[in-house]
Amino acid sequence: MAVITISSEFHTGSQKVAAGMAEKLGFAYIGDQLVAEIARELHISKHEAEMFRQASQTSILRFLDRYTCSIVQRVVDREHGCLDDDTYYNKTRELVEKIYENENAIIMGWGAQCILRQKPDTFHVLLKKADEKKIEEVMKTHQLARKAAEQLIKTEENNRKAYIKKYFDADWMDSRLYDLIIDMEKHSVEEAVEIIHDNARHHLKTLKT
């Protein structure tokens, strides 16, 4: 099996790149749907699972922790006990490893670049974009004032940074985590898909002809 992981700064077109790669290669695309699978495995709602994913190491998660035992325990299987961020992480890791073992896939996010870092037949990609360009696009797309756009970007990227730091003791932006880094200010989605494909061919047996 072969897996390409895609990590990204906020608003870099990562979902379109991941979907384009999956279509081009005929691979499964594992993105937000992993939330639903985690929710099913832990017997919680998709909304609750999404909140844990979005709020790792933030005040929201700390707030949730206070009420986890009294509220969430009712809907969590006794096997798992009281749901917390470690339980959520362990289930995420288990599912990512299961995907790696059983199918060719494009995995977006979830710390997959760290979970699968030492695995053979994997290729890890980071998508970046200049801060000013991200701000301009977020202002336009979400119809936000500049300050609000800056705060949204900061919040999203701090969540990603905190997750990688807590569970892997790694810097999310450390180039050593990736086999390829693409500046999405200079490339279209279609160009990024081709760049990833051309570079991944040297790493993945599945792509070699």
d(CA 63, CA 2): 39
Q: Where are the domains of the chain?
A: 3-207
Under the banding of pLDDT at 50, 70 and 90, the label for residue 92 is confident
Give the pLDDT confidence score for residue 72 in this predicted structure.
Answer: 43
Give the pLDDT confidence score for residue 9 in this predicted structure.
Answer: 95
Give the strands of the sheet with 105-108, arranged side by side.
28-30, 105-108, 3-8, 122-128, 180-183
Q: Single out the residue of 163, 173, 166, 181 nearest to residue 110, CA to CA.
A: 163
Under the banding of pLDDT at 50, 70 and 90, the label for residue 125 is very high
Query: Does the pLDDT at position 176 exceed 70?
Result: yes
Q: Single out the residue of 91, 92, 86, 127 nearest to residue 4, CA to CA.
A: 127
What superfamily in CATH does domain 3-207 come from?
A: P-loop containing nucleotide triphosphate hydrolases (3.40.50.300)
> Do the Cβ atoms of 27 and 21 come closer than 8 Å?
yes
Q: Which residue has the higher pLDDT, 75 or 90?
A: 90
Residues 103-112: tens digit of each pLDDT: 899 999 889 9
